[in-house]
Amino acid sequence: MGDDTLRIHRGGGWTGTGPAEGAGTRNISFPMEEDVARGFRVATIAASPGPAGDFDDDGDIDGADFLRWQRGESTHGLTDSDLDSWKSGFGVVSLAAASMPVPESMPYGTLLLAAIVGLRCQAEADRLATA
């Protein structure tokens, strides 16, 4: 198993072995082998790398990645190839982050208009009832 693999065994409870650092920030596949007769399960979670130039593994290539490169914390240290990877991918966002829904603002104008019309209708109904 490589450095980006987490092997999980189940024999009464789930435990993890292997380096799991950064597993929450990467795309993971979850193949499952199961031996139901023995009540034993083995799952291998393999982390797939993010886009080239994403040195902080947050799914996008931005200024934080450039700072990592400047400090020598990129994939191959302070190299021109890592800088080129960052340059070519700058501004790229992972598909998962790009497909997140954007919350819409409440249509306060429509809500206010509906309240005014409702109050106006109620006032007109009260006026007709007393006439």
Q: Is 69 exposed, middle or buried (0-12, 13-18, 19+ CB in 10 A)?
A: buried
The pLDDT of residue 94 is 62
The pLDDT of residue 21 is 47
The pLDDT of residue 27 is 45
The pLDDT of residue 29 is 47
The pLDDT of residue 130 is 85
95 — alpha (psi -120 to 50), left (phi > 0) or beta? Answer: alpha
Distance, in Å, from the CA atom of 58 to the CA atom of 93, rounded to the nearest integer, reads: 9
Domain chopping of the chain, boundaries: 1-48, 50-93
- pLDDT tens string, the chain, 131 residues long: the values are 445 555 555 444 444 444 444 444 444 444 555 555 555 555 556 666 678 888 888 878 888 999 999 999 888 888 899 999 889 888 766 666 666 677 676 677 788 888 999 999 998 888 888 87
- Range 39-68 burial, b when 16+ CB lie within 10 A, else e: eeeebebbbeebbbbbbbbbbbbbeebbeb
Q: Token pair of 70, please?
A: 């400047």
